[in-house]
Chain A
């Protein structure tokens, strides 16, 4: 294609948009709404997953040893646990440390009265996992190791969290798919109106010997521009609002601030910008391309 043809096509695409302002505006509004919802959704899901993930990382399996176990064996058991690839890390807590933590947390000054460590047998590994969904396997495995007395786990938390994560994933995919379908439909309608308004011009172009490509391009460009603008608007809105909303949530729920770890604007937008643009322009392209193929035949 010639550069002048490209600019001509671009210009005609823009002219199309302004020629049927109201329809363009309507589809722009829909795409904007859809992608704004997508953006909000995406941020919520990502942050939730992030929070869940931080929480998951805190979920630990505690491994206690049989009485009179040797130090060497404890080290061996530690190595065996670390070899499992669902394991993130295993922290050794000696009996002394266990007692210190316990007494500090629960006994305070009353701890003075103890001369011996009542938690003599409470040395343990705190095992943190990369993938909580495999916790049950891990527990079974550790229980089978020689020298292990007991494995303590918080099964409920682990399963609930990973289940919730999946549910959120599915629901969001479903909603986003519906939104995309609606946007594509509206773009297609806008382009159809555009084509019917320009029926005469299209027929003239055909008499002159315009190729399908030349006749169709402005409409496809029109769809893609609407899609791109429809992606840019919600991105700007999100960018402005994101920190404000997070700030608000943190302030309102300061009690939970330990638990609530949020992603930064940059982390969210690193993915949100390309995905939104691809979605917007993609919707515009698909919606207009299909319509144009259907309606414009030489």
Chain B
């Protein structure tokens, strides 16, 4: 599903953010990516989204060599990847329903389909009752659920989450992680970048640890590693 072969990424300034990284993530896996600040986790996610191109090495996502995608092919490529961020990134002027429907409009789903899909997605994330609320009327946990519903409403085979619980209290963090697990159990490949030691240790999933752009550990049913 996701393959990196000797991938390096350097920004114009400083040391490489990723340095000769190779990893394989199979269909249906649930993977945590952990590591210190600045270790290259977000860079990894952005490479998978083809927001960035690798400086060297090869990245295959869903059978596509991302470096070989033409500009015109990028939108189609991204429709197979759902993504959520620490800061939710909702459209502030639109209500919950519209925020989720938005993802379907973008890929030109018919209104009839949208009317069916959005409510069912909202009930999966537990927000069926709040579809009319604007983002500022919601708690952080609720906002992240909306973001999750938006990421998933198009049924992407891959879900990427960059610190999805970074702004949430422990209870909400747990609820979001449980949702991610449920989604994974339905077959979606899930990659979660997180700093949440407690959850990583409790969930017993694959854990990939990064440090200074290098993968220093990759464990099945792993735990959060202290580098120091």
Dominant SS at the B interface?
Answer: helix
| Residue contacts A-B, CB under 8 angstroms, 13 given | A2-B108, A4-B105, A5-B105, A204-B91, A206-B78, A208-B78, A209-B76, A209-B154, A210-B75, A210-B106, A211-B75, A214-B106, A214-B108
Q: Name the A residues within 8 Å of B77 (CB-CB).
A: 209
Contact with A along B92-134 (1 / 0, CB 8 A): 0000000000110111101100000000000000000000000
Q: B106 near A4 (CB under 8 angstroms)?
A: no
Which partner residue on chain A sits nearest B94 by CB separation? A201
The answer to whether A45 has its CB under 8 Å from any CB of chain B is no
Q: How large is the interface on B (under 10, 10 to 19, 20 to 34, 35 or more residues)?
A: 20 to 34
B212 in contact (CB, < 8 A): no
Pick the contact of A209 from B79, B110, B111 — CB < 8 Å?
B79
* Residue in B closest to A1 when the chains form the complex, CB atoms: B108
User: B residues engaging A (CB < 8 A)?
Assistant: 49, 71, 74-79, 83, 89, 91, 102-103, 105-108, 110-111, 150, 154
User: Beyond A207-B49, A208-B79, A209-B79, is A8–B74 a contact (Cβ under 8 Å)?
Assistant: no
* CB of A200 within 8 Å of the partner chain: yes
B83: A residues at CB distance < 8 A: 207
Of the listed residues A1, A8, A203, A204, the one surrounded by the most CB atoms of chain B closer than 10 A to its CB is A204
Contact call A208/B71, Cβ cutoff below 8 A = no
Contact flag A209-B108 (CB < 8 Å), given A200-B89, A204-B91: no
Identity of the chain B residue whose Cβ is nearest the Cβ of A204 in the assembled complex: B89
Residues in A neighbouring B105, C-beta threshold 8 A: 4-5, 8
* A1, A209, A210: residue with the most chain B Cβ atoms closer than 10 Å: A209
Scoring A residues 109 to 150 as 1 if CB is less than 8 Å from chain B, else 0, what string do you get? 000000000000000000000000000000000000000000
Which A201-227 residues sit within 8 Å CB-CB of chain B? Answer: 201, 203-212, 214
The answer on a CB contact under 8 Å between B110 and A4 is yes
Asked if A298 CB lies within 8 Å of chain B CBs, one says yes
Query: Cβ of A201 and Cβ of B91 under 8 Å apart?
Result: yes
Chain A interface residue bracket vs B: 10 to 19
A208 to B154, CA, bound (A): 9
Q: Main SS of chain A's interface residues?
A: helix
Beyond A1-B108, A206-B75, A214-B106, list 8 extra A-B contacts (CB 8 Å): A206-B78, A207-B78, A207-B83, A208-B154, A209-B76, A211-B75, A214-B108, A298-B75
- In the complex, chain B residues whose CB is within 8 Å of the CB of A211: 75
Q: Is there an interface contact between B91 and A209, defined as CB atoms closer than 8 Å?
A: no
Whether A208 touches B108, Cβ cut-off 8 Å, given contacts A200-B89, A201-B91, A298-B71, is: no
B54 nearest CB across to chain A (Å): 18
- CB contacts (< 8 Å) of A208 on chain B: these are 78-79, 102-103, 106-107, 150, 154
**6 nearest A-B residue pairs (beta carbon):** A209-B79, A209-B78, A210-B106, A209-B75, A4-B111, A211-B75
Q: Which residue of A lies closest to B80 (CB)?
A: A209
Report B68 CB to chain A, min CB distance, Å: 16
CB-defined contacts of B71 to chain A, threshold 8 Å:
298
Taking the closest CB of chain A, its distance from the CB of B27, in whole angstroms, is 20
Complex Cα gap A211–B71 (Å):
10
Q: Once the chains are docked, how many angstroms separate the CA of A192 from the CA of B75?
A: 23
Chain A nearest CB: distance from B173 CB in Å? Answer: 22
Nearest-Cβ distance from residue B118 to partner chain A, whole angstroms: 14
Query: Which residues on the A side are within 8 Å of B150 (C-beta)?
Result: 208
Q: Which residues of chain A are within 8 angstroms of B76 by Cβ–Cβ distance?
A: 209
CA distance A206 to B107 in the complex (A): 11
Q: Which residues of A contact B106 (CB under 8 A)?
A: 205, 208-210, 214
